[in-house]
Amino acid sequence: MKRKKNIWEGLIIGIFIFLVIVPILTILVWVGTERWAWPSLIPQKFSMRAVNGILRNRQQLVRLCMSSLFISASVAFLSVVIGTMTARALECYDFFGKRLFSFMSMLPFLVPGTVFAMGVQITFIKCGLSGTVQGVIIVHLICSLPYAVTLMQDGTRAMGVKLEEQARVLGAGALQAFFKVTLPNLFPVMLSAFSMAFVVSFSQYFLTLMIGGGNVKTFAIVMVPYLGSGERNFASIYSVIFLVIMLLVFGILEWIVGCFTKAQEVEYY
Amino acid sequence: MKKRIAALLLSTVMAFSLTACGNSAKTEKADNKETKQTTETVEDMSFDEMVDAAKGTTVTFYGWGGDDSLNDWLDNYYAPRLKEKYDITLERVPMDIDAILSQLSGEISADKKDGDIDMIWINGENFKTCKENNMLYGPFAEELPNFQSYIDTDDEETNADFCFPIEGYEAPYGKAQLVMIADTAVTPDLPTNTDEFMEFCKANKGKVTYPELPDFTGSAFVRNVIYDICGYEQFMDMEADKETVKAAIEPALEYLRELNPYLWNEGKTFPKDSTALTNMYSDGEVVMDISYGAYSTATNIENGTYTETSQSFQFDKGTIGNTNYIAIAANSGNVAGAQVAINEMLDPEVQADRFAEIRTIPVVDYNKLNDTQKEAFDKVEIGKGVIPQDELLSKRLPEMPSALVPIIEEIWAEEVVGK
């Protein structure tokens, strides 16, 4: 069914694209700009200071990106595993205190990170988790889990248990039914949950700072001080790198989803 | 039934993990006893013994990380030098002072002994808070060989930080002095006192402003206006009482209120911080910038952030200068390494390189240097747009007691903004 494109629709989409693209282009220009005073249309002073600064520390930066990617990927993977299980428990089973659990899984949405950071910090210090990668992964999980749970809950609800029950009727074991029927169907949702959790973890600054205590460095830890410093070219180049990493990660995930849905035409939703 | 069992299992697992936490905390405490012993003995160590103890260790240096040239200098000059000379690995951790202090207080209240934070870049009010709450290690500064050889102990700033006695709990790191910057191509006549500054604002209506207090630089600028109008001597031993302070600075408040209509956005709002003001100046939105880095004008012209014709200036009666320092966290896990690193920072060679690379006013006493050391400082070309060092330092006014600073900031917010 093809709908005639409404002119207003096109206009609104156009405005949105404009609102996203123009700031990104501005950031790109600022990477190589030192001074750009009003009312000139082009910057008065170009310089490669930020680019050179990045290139000089490229080894450090690559290491930084790797550790950041590792942390965020671990967080995202764990979020998906826990999220899938939580969603399944909340959607397919009835148990005492279910609504409380459901509410509590959303709690980190409601309480700002800065509020619980201090308590988490002291607890983690006592447990010997502060200043360790494990500690940072756990604290990132607190923030990214609600997203993963919400997404997985929607997915699980949309899929229901009918297909799985059918598989059981046809003689599959509980595990077989789950891994052969439910899991493949949930896979695209799991990937969205993965990317969401990844983004949340990758941009986490304050909690990483509190729990990592400077021992655990992520990309955000190094980037954020530049954002506030007024060195616009450095802020821009870090933003661009951040954006590129995000786009790459999303691109790869999209590609996986693409391969997957091509291989297996599923009726979804 | 199955679910009950599962729930039971889950709660037992959780209980176990809790006890596991408890256990690890205990073992950690046992470990800490050993480290505590070493920190206790560090106090009796000679400097050479500290150098031995610090070999192969890592020292963390927490501080503001928004200045790229400083970061670069620390990473590519100071850190390799420490590695080569003492086999110490410097880990620079860029963090705002508020975050550093909240982490430190968290660690201390959780009784963490082998803390992550070793060196902290600090001064003023933050130092006072830390020292009063026993969050710093010390006294150590006076024991450092380079402190004894090269630091001027008669200098007021060596003994007191914003009039608060240092007592060896921090060592000088760099000097700062407030300067104002304007483009001589746009505004050829630069004000030399507050009266001329008023005329300057009237002539450039809506194009002058200062950062909103409690920004460090904005706050210093307002104090400088107060000094220029009310004199500075009376504040040195003033009681930290709002009424007293308000009475003393009333003429300056009157002046600032009178200034408002000629300021950017008519003084209803002010830029959020000094970096915002610098960007506004560089964008041509305002005609004057204010900076605590007295020589940053030169580096900014070299970078192209400022126009070639930018020139720094100060009031004839002088501008406020202060020193920033390095302290050691009370629960630092590497007190020996931190002291060796701080001692190295006071080395004339290091200070000269820092002066040459990023134009920080050195903390070492020029008169205590030998000829080759003096030469290293003499040959540094400070660059364009700056005030010569002897003139700058001859017009250097002391900071007021740190307790007065928040009071003035409060009064400013009540009596000046939008009035």
Q: Is the per-residue pLDDT at B184 higher than 80?
A: yes
For residue B277, the SS3 value is helix
Pairwise CA distance, residues A86 & B404, whole Å: 55
Under 8 Å CB-to-CB from B363, ≥6 apart: which residues?
B151, B172, B173, B174, B175, B323, B346, B351
Q: B163: how many CB neighbours lie within 10 A of its CB? A: 20
Strand partners, B396: B319
Minimum-distance CB partner of B110 among A53, A122, A232: A122
Work out how many CB contacts closer than 8 A connect A with B.
Answer: 112
Pairwise CA distance, residues B197 & B184, whole Å: 15
- Per-residue pLDDT averaged across B261-269, rounded? 91
Domain definitions of chain A by residue range? 58-263
* Residue contact A121–B103, C-beta within 8 A: yes
Residue of A88, A126, A211, A236 for testing the chain B interface, max B β-carbons within 10 Å: A126
Minimum-distance CB partner of B68 among A34, A209, A234: A234
* Residue contact B304–A45, C-beta within 8 A: yes
Query: Rounded to an integer, what is the distance from CA B144 to the centroid of its chain?
Result: 21
CA distance B315 to chain A (A): 26
Per-residue pLDDT of A13-45, as tens digits, reads: 999 999 999 999 999 998 888 888 877 888 888
Q: Supply the ipTM of this predicted assembly.
A: 0.75
Which range of A91-95, A109-113, A186-190, B4-8 scores highest in mean pLDDT? It is A186-190
Given pLDDT bands bounded at 50, 70 and 90, which one contains residue B18? very low
Q: Which residue has the tokens 């009482």?
A: B241
H or E element, residue B165 = strand B164-165
Domain definitions of chain B by residue range? 45-173+324-381, 177-322+396-415
Per-residue pLDDT of B91-122, as tens digits, reads: 998 888 888 898 898 888 888 888 889 999 99
B117 touches B107 (CB < 8 A): yes
- Considering chain B, what percentage of its residues have pLDDT values greater than 70? 90
Q: What pLDDT is recorded for position B97?
A: 87
Q: What pLDDT is recorded for position A4?
A: 62
Domain boundaries B177-322+396-415, corresponding CATH code: 3.40.190.10
CA distance A212 to chain B (A): 9
Q: A150: how many CB neighbours lie within 10 A of its CB? A: 17
Contacts of A57 in chain B (CB under 8 A): 75
Per-residue pLDDT of B357-389, as tens digits, reads: 888 888 888 888 888 888 888 888 888 888 888
* Residue contact B283–A126, C-beta within 8 A: no
Q: Is the per-residue pLDDT at A2 higher than 70?
A: no
The chain B residue lying nearest A229, using CA atoms, is B66
* Residue contact B66–A230, C-beta within 8 A: yes
- Per-residue pLDDT averaged across B159-179, rounded? 91
Contacts of A45 in chain B (CB under 8 A): 304-305
Q: Which residues of A touch B (CB under 8 A)?
A: 34-38, 45, 47, 49-50, 53, 56-57, 60, 93, 95, 118, 121-122, 125-128, 130-131, 206, 209-210, 213-215, 217, 221-222, 225-226, 228-232, 234
CA distance B89 to chain A (A): 13
Contacts of A215 in chain B (CB under 8 A): 116
Contacts of B289 in chain A (CB under 8 A): none
> Which among B289, B207, B226, B103 is positioned nearest to B236, based on CA atoms?
B226
DSSP letters of chain A?
--PPPPHHHHHHHHHHHHHHHHHHHHHHHHHTEEE--TT-SS-SEE--HHHHHHHHTHHHHHHHHHHHHHHHHHHHHHHHHHHHHHHHHHHH---TTHHHHHHHTTHHHHS-HHHHHHHHHHHHHHHT-TTSHHHHHHHHHHHHHHHHHHHHHHHHHHH-SHHHHHHHHTT--HHHHIIIIIHHHHHHHHHHHHHHHHHHHHT--HHHHHHHTTTS--HHHHHHHHHHHS-HHHHHHHHHHHHHHHHHHHHHHHHHHHHHHHHS-----
Q: Is the per-residue pLDDT at A51 higher than 70?
A: yes
Pairwise CA distance, residues A41 & B207, whole Å: 21
Name the residue with higher pLDDT: A248 or B67.
A248
Pairwise CA distance, residues A52 & A54, whole Å: 5
B352 touches B376 (CB < 8 A): yes
**Fold agreement between B45-173+324-381 and B177-322+396-415:** yes
Given pLDDT bands bounded at 50, 70 and 90, which one contains residue B257? very high
Q: Of the CATH numbers 1.10.10.10, 2.60.120.10, 1.10.3720.10, 3.40.120.10, which one belongs to the domain with range A58-263?
A: 1.10.3720.10
pTM value is: 0.80
CA distance A223 to chain B (A): 9
* Residue contact B76–A56, C-beta within 8 A: yes
Q: What pLDDT is recorded for position A102?
A: 86
Q: How many secondary structure helices (H) and strands (E) does chain B include?
A: 18, 11
Q: What pLDDT is recorded for position A113?
A: 74
Per-residue pLDDT of A58-90, as tens digits, reads: 888 899 999 999 999 999 999 999 999 999 898
* Residue contact A37–B283, C-beta within 8 A: yes
* Residue contact B112–A130, C-beta within 8 A: yes
Q: Of the CATH numbers 3.40.190.10, 1.10.150.170, 3.40.50.300, 3.40.50.970, which one belongs to the domain with range B45-173+324-381?
A: 3.40.190.10
- Considering chain A, what percentage of its residues have pLDDT values greater than 90? 32
Q: Is the per-residue pLDDT at A216 higher than 60?
A: yes
Report residue A3: phi and psi, to 5°. -100, 145
